[in-house]
Structure 1
Amino acid sequence: MPAVKNQKPRGREPALIGLFLILSLIFLPLVGAQEYDYEINAYAVYFEVIDQNNIRETVEIDLTPHTNLSQYVIYTAYPVENASAVLDLGNRVERINVTVREVLGGTNAIYMTFPTLEVGQSARIGLTFTTRGMVSENGGNEQFTYYIKFSQPVGVFHMQLLVPRGYAILSPIIPSPDRVESSTDRLLLEWKRSNVRPGDEFYFIVGFSGEITVPKPPSPWLYLGVFIIGLLLGGGSVYGYILYRERKREEELTHLRSDEEKLLAMLKEGPVLQSELAEKLGVSKAKVSIILREMEEKGLITRTKEGRTYRVFLKE
């Protein structure tokens, strides 16, 4: 049989395919890891409700670049005012140049430019700005809403909402917070998610009442007014009591004078025993003693001891 010309050995092709498969298995994880320019270790968003119209938003991103990185962009559907940012490198903090531009569909792009981060150099971006539109009216109350969707993996996602004193949290609260903390000047709600995957989205809804007017402390003049009124009422009560006592005393003196006149009329007919006067005058023995003592002081009568009582004489 004639030799077959240009025929290649059959053992080399399977060997090359096997080598390719082995190299793919080794380098495929590395290719996947380099799919993104940076790795987001943690992503945190903090919202502080200032009033029904304004919210202070702070975004903190802990990342490690896989290539040299000097710019980071955040997109938001809400207004951005007074934006400022810093880059925390651990041993120093650098200021970040922030530029806000409106892009397609009314979305705002926040461009943050900073000194170049080298491969593997971890850093934290901190962005703060004032926004509005997240709080809307719903059935006479207020409702906070926030939506976020991630386009790449995130190690830990942290979301926090600060509501100042004067507001009361109402339903709905979606999703249920992982932590609720109350203090004298604020109410804090916190959510935390780990191992966020590309395409994961989160929608937050928190209802709360409109601002409650906190009563102002009473004016010092009010306390002074209450004190003066109390003083007047107390003084009036004392004065009224004094008048009552005076009137009562006058009435008693009137009765005494009337009884004195009756007693003088009796004594004009002759001396009388003191023990008999109470029955004749229709008064108590104690009152008879008072009448006689006063008449004696006035020099109208005299008394002489007679047994266990006195005999009363009209003084000439």
Structure 2
Amino acid sequence: MSDGIRRLPTFAALSGQAVLDGHRKGASIQLDETYFAGQSRALRTADEFSPSERRLAGLRDSKETYERIDVRVESLTEQHLWEASRRFRRQLRTVPEVDYLDRQFPGRCFVVPEWLRTDNRLHYGARVYLFREDDAPTPEAVMRENVEAVVADSFEAFERYQGRLHGYPDCCIDFYQNRSPDSPSPEWQSVAPFADRIHDAALEAGPPESIEDVVPEFLDAEAEYAFFAREFFPEPGCETARTKGRVIHDALAATIDEGLVEDYFKLTFGFNYLVAQAVHTGGDRRPAPGDLGREHLLFYAPLGELTTLPRYS
């Protein structure tokens, strides 16, 4: 595992390593306030961590630069949205964190705008993609797929494309897009078979002390390896997803502490459970760093820092 990977936030480092190992086509990081603030909080949480002032300043500058970006779309046409995408991407490339991720990741790393259309409203964000050097689309190709889907009001087409970029099994992509008002959401159907492993009381009492309070025993059931990525909701019983997850687990555990890898899978499932719960109850809130315990916050710290802690050394 390279020094560059070890400098990435742990949740991104482990996803990125699975890409470099060839077990996923790609991975991504959503750039937002949660991402920037989570890292700053994590680096100040453990006494064993020794973040440089330069790194902390870079995160502050990145958050401020991102928040200052002015996004304007003249009208919802393909030409105008494409022009807005190009302007937005130029501004995103001035965010220091984008350059930091590009320098650290030993593969292909780039940032693109991300558009979403709901009820004739246009929402925007930013996503950094991680690919192997020899197996990456161009940023323009990703942007074009997104723009065309939004203008045509067929975001499902982009979701399918995006799922393949992340290396999700086609059967799980099909399952995720099979939504019906008469059935629970695919998110909830995906996590429901394992919901009894979640201690809801620990979540309802406030931020738990540890992920072990929420998911005390997780990897004792082979099917649970299917949850190998944040916001990936596998089809219940999918053997392809389970096998892929087990391969990712074993490859990571061969190079770093197995307890850290198991926490990664616990946290990933817990994260997906909270997302599914929000969707199921009509909410849209993504889990904030620490919602699943101390380890959830610490996974925003660099992997290299995390491996110095007694829990993972």
Higher strand share: 1
Q: Which of the five TM-score ranges fits, normalised by the shorter chain?
A: under 0.3
Q: More relative contact order in 1 or in 2 (CA 8 Å, sep 6+)?
A: 2
Question: Normalized against structure 2, the TM-score is what?
Answer: 0.19
Higher helix share: 2
Question: Normalized against structure 1, the TM-score is what?
Answer: 0.19
